[in-house]
Structure 1
Amino acid sequence: MELNDAQEWIKRFYGERGWTDYGPFIRVGFLMEEAGEVARVVRTYEIGRGRPDEADQPKAELRRELVGEIGDVLGNLALLAGLYGITLEEAFDAHRQKLLKRFEE
């Protein structure tokens, strides 16, 4: 799936459930929450949680969880970008151009 197609799918899927009714401040809050969940899974994958009340999870299970959490970040980022009329492809292209200019040899 292309980035813009994915962004449109997210907008439609979330919209059908009323999840696109939130403004940018709330959407940023959701994005940060999901980013924190990515951080938690990465920490668990790399160094563990060190909690006796939690069982260790196999790496394959943690990887699946990480894939899902990164997807949640992408979903919220796509919706946030859309609130400002920005496509994911436009954002990625701007990012790529900035890096190429900065590090062009």
Structure 2
Amino acid sequence: MDLDSHQQWLIDFYQQRGWYELSPFIRLNFLTEEVGELSRAVRAIKLGRDHPGEPIATPADLQANLEEELADVLDQVLVMSAKMDVDPQQLLTASEDKLKARFHIN
């Protein structure tokens, strides 16, 4: 699946549930929540977690959780891009162009 197809699938999915209509400010809160969950996933891998009541996660569990949280962050960025009428492909180009210019790379 490519980025544009996935973004359209997300828009359709969110519209079916009445979530797409939420304002960009609310969407930003969801993005922030997902970044927090990503932070927790990275912490669990790099520092570990010692929390009573939580089962001890295997390395495979930790990796699966990391991938899930990265995907959730990406999804929120794609929905926000659509809400703000920004082409995600252009974001990739803009990012690469900015870094090439900053570091004088062809």
The two structures have a TM-score, normalised by structure 2, of 0.92
What percent of counterpart residues are identical? 36
> Please, which runs of 5 or more residues in structure 2 have no aligned partner?
none
CA distance in 2, matches of 1:4, 1:102: 27
Match of 2:45 in 1: 45
Tell me which residue corresponds to 2:65.
65
Cα-to-partner distance string for 1:47-68 (whole Å, 9 max, x where unaligned): 1112233222001011111111
Runs of 5+ consecutive residues of structure 1 not aligned to the other structure: none
| Structure 1 vs Structure 2 CA RMSD | 1.1
Query: What is aligned with 2:76?
Result: 76
Contact in 2 for aligned 1:38/1:69 (Cα 8 Å) = yes
Q: Following TM superposition, where does structure 1 have runs of at least 4 consecutive aligned residues deviating by more than 3 angstroms?
A: none
Q: 1:34 maps to which residue?
A: 34
Contact in 2 for aligned 1:48/1:56 (Cα 8 Å): no
Q: Distance in 1 between matches of 2:98 and 2:63?
A: 31
1:6 corresponds to: 6
- Measured after TM superposition, the shift of residue 29 of structure 1 is 0.2
